[in-house]
């Protein structure tokens, strides 16, 4: 039986139930789209992400540097040697699969 996790996509373009992040997470977890998430994915134009008391994951398809004062993890284009909390877009799929296999 897969562990259940609750996620929310705040102002992220596309279908929150049918995207590459959910597809990868579903390989390991039973993913529920929830208004009370454990993991919140948000983009640069998102509003209200600080209202959520959960793990915040900044996602950007643009060339923006994540602010780790407001997010716990990030997926973007910039390479930053900052512990293990940033994945470049080129690494996203491979690294996310590796993370969920632990």
- pLDDT classification of 102: cutoffs 50, 70, 90: very low
Q: What is the pLDDT of residue 3?
A: 94
d(CA 43, CA 64): 10
pLDDT in tens, 68-87: 899 988 887 766 666 655 45
Q: What would the mean pLDDT of 44-69 be, rounded to a whole number?
A: 88
Please say whether the beta carbons of 85 and 10 come within 8 A: no
* Residue 37 scores a pLDDT above 80: yes
* Residue 41 scores a pLDDT above 70: yes
- pLDDT classification of 56: cutoffs 50, 70, 90: very high
The torsion angles phi and psi of 32, rounded to 5 degrees, stand at: -115, 125
């Amino acid at each position: 039986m897969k562990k259940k996790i609750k996620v929310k996509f705040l102002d992220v373009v596309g279908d929150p139930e049918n995207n590459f992040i959910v597809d990868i997470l579903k390989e390991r977890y039973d993913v529920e789209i929830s208004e009370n998430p454990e993991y919140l994915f948000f983009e640069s134009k998102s509003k209200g992400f600080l209202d959520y008391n959960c793990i915040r994951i900044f996602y950007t398809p643009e060339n923006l540097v994540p602010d780790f004062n407001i997010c716990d993890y990030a997926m973007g284009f910039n390479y930053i040697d900052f512990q293990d909390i940033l994945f470049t877009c080129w690494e996203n799929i491979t690294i996310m699969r590796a993370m969920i296999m632990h």
